[in-house]
Amino acid sequence: MERFSAFLPLEADAVASGVREMFQTKSPPQAVYVSDDILLHHVVRAWQAMGIVPGRDVEVITQSCRGNPLPDGFNWSRMEFNPYQVGRMTMDALLQSIQNAEGELCSFTHQAAWLPGETARLAGRPG
């Protein structure tokens, strides 16, 4: 089985060109993973222009954040993320790596920094 990856900018023309290139080869893909719900909208338009029907001509898996609408017309196979849970898991993983450093150097970029701004009452107080 061959694998092909394409990294396309989120511009409709660039996506259409990339999709045409991918699907007009002598062995077009049988399945596609589109890793972005915004990119998927452009890919679907390119497929429509080429007469390709998702689920019939090509298997598609995408990922989306809960609440972000996917293109109409299909019950998309997808990895769906709850953005609040993903954010919480990211913070938990960073905290765990800091707490388990056990004397090893831990990057300060992983630690929260207080950056005083104009939106908090404590911004004017030192440290």
Q: Is residue 92 part of a domain?
A: no
Q: Is residue 78 part of a domain?
A: yes
C-alpha span between 69 and 84 (Å, rounded): 17
Q: Is the pLDDT of residue 44 over 50?
A: yes
Q: How many domains does the chain have?
A: 1
pLDDT reported for residue 25: 86
**Amino acid, res. 77:** S
- What is the average pLDDT value for the chain, to the nearest integer? 77
Q: Is residue 127 part of a domain?
A: no
**Amino acid, res. 34:** V
- Sheet with 31-34, side-by-side order of all strands: 31-34, 59-65, 77-81
**In this structure, what CATH number is given to the domain that contains residue 68?**
3.40.50.2300
pTM given for the model: 0.62
